[in-house]
A and B are shown apart, each in its own frame.
Chain A
Amino acid sequence: MITSQRMEDAALALMHKAAIDIPEDYLDALRAMTEAEAAKDEAGLSAFVLEAMLENYQAAEQDRRPMCADTGVPRYFVKAGNEARLQGGFVELERCLRAATARATQEIPLRPNRVHPLSRHDNGDNVGINAPEIDYSFEPDADWLEITTVHKGGLFGSDYRMLFPGDGIDGIKRFLLDVLIAFGKRGLACQPAIVGIGLGGSKDTCMVLGKQAACLRVVGERNPDPEIAALELELKDLGNSIGMGAMGFVGSSMVVDCQIEVGYCHTGGMPMSVHCFCLSSRRATARIQADGQIDYRHDPRWFTPYMRRDTVTWPGTTAASRRTG
């Protein structure tokens, strides 16, 4: 049984880690990108900006202060082992996540960013109606609980479009260029970004897949489908060929990595979403074991083989739940 206390402890620690410590995978990639920009004569300003960001991550870590004052919209992704047992159940887990959000806002401190869309009322603790969002997924043959928090800005750098099968790869490239050019100017997207692309699904699923691809995979990780993996690399290069760097200055540092996730969609359509996870790509994950031990890491490991399954059954599912094809 995973206790309520452990769930709240983990969530609170995650809020601190995400806000303050840049994930290693993003940091390593950004260091390489900074060196590449610095080696080019025309990308001096872009290189200057990236060097300042590297200094900023260090300052955040040394001072234990947030790397960015824009808290974004802090949220959680929960992966529950199929055998996990939670004290107080999922209702208690949700209370823990809301409590950790409010406590972290005061402790760290984070900017109270969440307001009512019409009255603009601010509770002052990043908690409100449908805030923080909590997304769920499940894992067979496991009794642990995994919590990931993501702090991502929300105003610029994302878009959705219904493409059609006839648009093909051309349509995907064109829409990606449109989004990166539109939001890359003046650095509105806070690039270089981890660009997440959702392909397929229903409209809302398409947005969710793209967001999760940007936020819940690590830099350098490829989609297991070789065709999609190749497209990821091709689109990354395309984004970096625009000629734009950090803050929209001349350079070639737009895309740190491109991550694509797919879902089966309507036979007549090919919906696509694009999301930019920014220079403050804030995410942190904890696994709480059944005995209460907590392990922290930067890699959410959200897209498991089980998540990406395309079969009716899954090996190990019980006879009672198995359907015949």
Chain B
Amino acid sequence: MAGHDGGIKTYRLTAPVQPDDLAGLELGGVVYLDGLIYTGREGVYRRLLDQGETPPVDLAGISNVNFHCSPAAAIDDDGTFRVGAVTATASFRFAKWLPQWFRQTGCRVIIGKGGMSERDYREIFVPAGAVYLTTVGYGTGALLGRGIQAVEGVHWLDELGIAQAIWVLRVKEFGPLLVESDLAGNSLFERHNRRIDSHIESLYDGLKPPALRRFGETDDKTDELI
């Protein structure tokens, strides 16, 4: 389902997502999600993939949307969960785990902060038929928090703590998210970088180089840190 809002396309998707849903997504479009998603970041990847632990729950049976997130949440004395705000953490650090993660869980959507490189999309995401949706801001913690209807379960809470545990979240109109990569492996961020990079050198015109240089320093401003 797609609509227009001030020139920006808007999509409403249901999670778990269907492959057909992803085919229509255009870079820079706005996405709102309904359904089930789960959080998982380095703590989960290390246990599951590096240490070969048995997953605490059948993730593939729950959803195919993995949110790189740690919620601002608390557990009350009666054991119920309160989630106040949710925002994403920078995803580029997790790229190395994703080929195996996609194979093992059937994940098709990563939600996070900052995206990954176009190279990662082409080598890792495209073969898995997966796309990347970026949170907005950053971060719209309160708006995303409003989109959470219920915490359906928390796994590995004792082992990993609130920030790193797997949170299974039932969401409604969860967003806004932006389409950062499409099924062809294009990146919205890199598209914008290329436009900005084209005139960045001129900002340095006439500025003399520093007296003391540093190891690893580059003068190529089109480089990225990720």
Contact = CB atoms under 8 A, between A and B. Distances in A.
Contact of A63 (B86, B114, B145, B162): B145
Nearest to A38: B6
Contacts, number: 190
Contacts of B70: 69-70, 111
B139 interface: yes
B139 A112 contact: no
B1 interface: no
A68 B139 contact: yes
A247 B200 contact: no
Nearest to A182: B225
A156 B139 CA distance: 14
Contact of A112 (B163, B195, B221): B163
B143 A44 contact: no
A145 to B, nearest CB: 29
B84 A248 contact: no
B141 A60 contact: yes
Nearest to B28: A45
Contact of A65 (B142, B161, B226): B142
B162 A69 contact: no
Interface string A257-296: 0000000000000000000001110000000000000000
Contacts of B30: 48
Interface stretch (A135-143, A167-175, A298-306): A167-175
Contact of B200 (A162, A181, A238): A181
Q: How large is the interface on A (under 10, 10 to 19, 20 to 34, 35 or more residues)?
A: 35 or more
Contacts of B7: 44
B161 A112 contact: yes
B13 interface: no
B80 to A, nearest CB: 12
A209 to B, nearest CB: 20
Interface in A166-204: 166-167, 170-171, 173-175, 177, 181-183, 185-188, 190
A223 interface: no
A65 B85 contact: yes
Interface in B95-142: 113-115, 134, 136-142
B203 A66 contact: no
A115 B70 CA distance: 14
Interface stretch (B16-24, B47-55, B58-66, B206-214): B206-214
Interface in A12-56: 44-45, 48-49, 52-53, 55-56
B143 A52 contact: yes
Contact of A67 (B74, B141, B203): B141
Contact of A109 (B74, B90, B221): B74
Among A49, A71, A161, A187, the one with the most B-chain Cβ atoms within 10 Å of its Cβ is A187
A69 B71 contact: yes
Contacts of A48: 6, 8, 30, 136
A243 B226 CA distance: 20
A108 interface: yes
A280 B113 CA distance: 15
B140 A56 contact: yes
A248 B193 contact: yes
A113 interface: yes
Contacts of B40: none
A192 to B, nearest CB: 11
Contact of B196 (A53, A68, A243, A246): A243
17 contacts: A48-B6, A52-B140, A53-B137, A53-B140, A57-B142, A69-B84, A69-B144, A69-B145, A70-B141, A112-B162, A113-B163, A164-B210, A170-B206, A181-B221, A186-B224, A247-B138, A278-B138
Given A48-B30, A109-B82, A122-B161, 8 more contacts: A48-B136, A52-B136, A63-B146, A65-B84, A68-B139, A124-B161, A177-B204, A243-B200
User: Lowest 9 CB-CB distances: which A-B pairs, in order?
Assistant: A109-B74, A60-B142, A59-B142, A69-B87, A69-B85, A111-B72, A68-B141, A186-B114, A66-B85
Interface of A: 44-45, 48-49, 52-53, 55-57, 59-60, 63, 65-71, 105-113, 115, 122, 124, 155-156, 161-164, 166-167, 170-171, 173-175, 177, 181-183, 185-188, 190, 238, 241-244, 246-250, 278-280
